[in-house]
Amino acid sequence: MLVDVLRCPRCDRGALREDRAGYICAQCSAGFPVIGGLPWLFRDPQGAAGEWRARLTLLLAELRADADGVTTALAGQGLLPATRERLTRLGAALEDHGRRVTQILEPLQVHVGAADRDALRALRTRMPVSQGLTNYYVNAHRDWAWGDAENAASLDLLDGGGAETLSGARVLVLGAGAGRLAYDLHRRHGPALTVAMDVNPLLLAIAQEMYAGRTLELHEFPLAPRGAAEHAVLRTLRAPAAADERLRLVAADAMCAPFQPGAFDVVVTPWFIDIVEEPFPALAARINSLVADGGRWLNLGSVAFAFLSTQRLLQYSLEEALELVQRAGFAPPVVREAALPYMQSPASRHARVESTVAWAARKTATVAPPDSRGPPEWIVDATLPVPLSADLQSHARSTRIHAFMMSLLDGRRSLNDIARVLVEQRLMKPEDALPAARAFMLKMQEDAGRRINV
């Protein structure tokens, strides 16, 4: 049963039990809702819901702006008939996409048009840093529309040909995305319980529909469309069959995972370890704490650690990663590698072949996990004062200067005028003011037109 493996992500101690509205901690009494059928086990469940709601609102505003841009282009003179046709299709698809995504995320209760796009852009936060609502949207199409060959190849590589059965095991898939690998593993091996966990409610909601055996129609917007018809493709997503009730979805953050220590016989990390913003040694220790004694860690994906691109120290090679796995309390991993097709959408001219690594490592020792990296208490409890660190003070000052600079933009002032004000306000020395104003205004002009990741 799902509830047997759960632990409170707020106090990191108490067991969770089900009550009418969701889950409740036996120790600290924190409550966690079920949203749209998904156990919503974030440390700060309301905050997480609010954040995803804001992101969806922003996504809808961006889609609206994109569709408006298409309408404006269509109003132009002298368009090729083929251009007109492509834009007409695309505009309709963008609008329809917004409606479909809103419908899927209806349980988040987004009020379309309720918030100001500029305010949302300015105030958007990140949870966890860099994980946007549509970051891995294409994975859903790969999982449930056109990716059978890719999905099968991934399963086989992870599974080592199915040599070691998971029958009767408790399995956790971290960063399960739209859920296909968890589904395939579950169907192949029939574990006692498979928990597919992710932070992203859009992907989870898609997985939920698939697991229930329902179909979804969603637009794919390929990276490099093959032709006019492929600029937006309405696809039907469906699973081969409904999943059984032992395959469960959970919305939560792996950095404060809501599970009992050692709750799983197998923890699977598909395309996950190198996209999270935690140094690999800490993540490996975190995974150790979720695996039962003698259990296994199955990993699949690239070993690129590219997210920490500025920190050379943390960009571990495969060899280092394998050593770090052992330091984190696992036996030497059994490694397999294969060149796998990756995101080869039939609608796109862009397709990858990934030299993919899979390992299986047995837990031999328990190591201390790092502290949970959930939001601090003053975020969860909105009545507490927001601490003001020296860093934050300095950031507040630079943000004020930023806002002041922007307020000088009135369509009449030149760079010289702006630089003069900076000197008058004693914000800069005369010799620094003009170069600073030039660089700042150039960056602002560029940023203003840039699409953002929601």
Q: Which residues bind ligand SAM (CB under 6 A)?
A: 128, 131, 136, 139, 175-177, 181, 198-200, 203, 253-255, 270-272, 275-276
Rounded to a whole number of angstroms, the minimum distance from the CB of residue 70 to ligand SAM is: 29
Reading the block at residue 392, the tokens are 């934050």
Smaller CB separation from ligand SAM, 117 or 187? 187
Name the residue among 209, 161, 451 with its Cα closest to residue 334.
161
Rounded to a whole number of angstroms, the minimum distance from the CB of residue 272 to ligand SAM is: 5
Rounded to a whole number of angstroms, the minimum distance from the CB of residue 430 to ligand SAM is: 47
Rounded to a whole number of angstroms, the minimum distance from the CB of residue 283 to ligand SAM is: 10
Smaller CB separation from ligand SAM, 87 or 204? 204
Residue 6 is classified by DSSP as B
Smaller CB separation from ligand SAM, 203 or 454? 203
**Angle in degrees, 0-180, between the axes of helices 81-104 and 201-211, rounded to the nearest 10:** 80
Rounded to a whole number of angstroms, the minimum distance from the CB of residue 444 to ligand SAM is: 30
Confirm if 140 and 206 have CB atoms less than 8 A apart: yes
Smaller CB separation from ligand SAM, 255 or 454? 255
Confirm if 64 and 112 have CB atoms less than 8 A apart: no
- The DSSP-derived string for 140-193 is HHIIIII-HHHHHHHHHHHHGGGTS--TT-EEEEET-TTSHHHHHHHHHH--SE
Smaller CB separation from ligand SAM, 176 or 361? 176
Smaller CB separation from ligand SAM, 70 or 251? 251
Smaller CB separation from ligand SAM, 303 or 437? 303
Name the residue among 395, 402, 404, 396 with its Cα closest to residue 443.
402
Smaller CB separation from ligand SAM, 175 or 281? 175
CB atoms within 10 A of CB 266: 23
The dihedral region occupied by 291, where left means phi > 0, alpha psi between -120 and 50, and beta the remainder, is: beta
Rounded to a whole number of angstroms, the minimum distance from the CB of residue 194 to ligand SAM is: 13
Go through the chain and tell me how many residues it has. Answer: 454
How many CA atoms does the CB half-sphere of 148 hold within 13 Å? 4
Rounded to a whole number of angstroms, the minimum distance from the CB of residue 419 to ligand SAM is: 43
In what side-by-side order are the strands of the sheet with 22-25? 16-19, 22-25, 31-35, 38-39
Rounded to a whole number of angstroms, the minimum distance from the CB of residue 65 to ligand SAM is: 25
Backbone angles phi, psi at 9, to 5 degrees: -80, -5
Smaller CB separation from ligand SAM, 198 or 209? 198
Rounded to a whole number of angstroms, the minimum distance from the CB of residue 1 to ligand SAM is: 22
Confirm if 167 and 191 have CB atoms less than 8 A apart: yes
Smaller CB separation from ligand SAM, 12 or 90? 12
- Residue 389 CB partners (closer than 8 Å, separation 6+): none
Where b means 16+ CB within 10 Å and e means fewer, 183-202 reads bbbbbebebebbbbbbbbbb
Confirm if 10 and 376 have CB atoms less than 8 A apart: no
- Residue 347 CB partners (closer than 8 Å, separation 6+): 146, 220, 222, 225, 226, 230, 233
Rounded to a whole number of angstroms, the minimum distance from the CB of residue 269 to ligand SAM is: 8
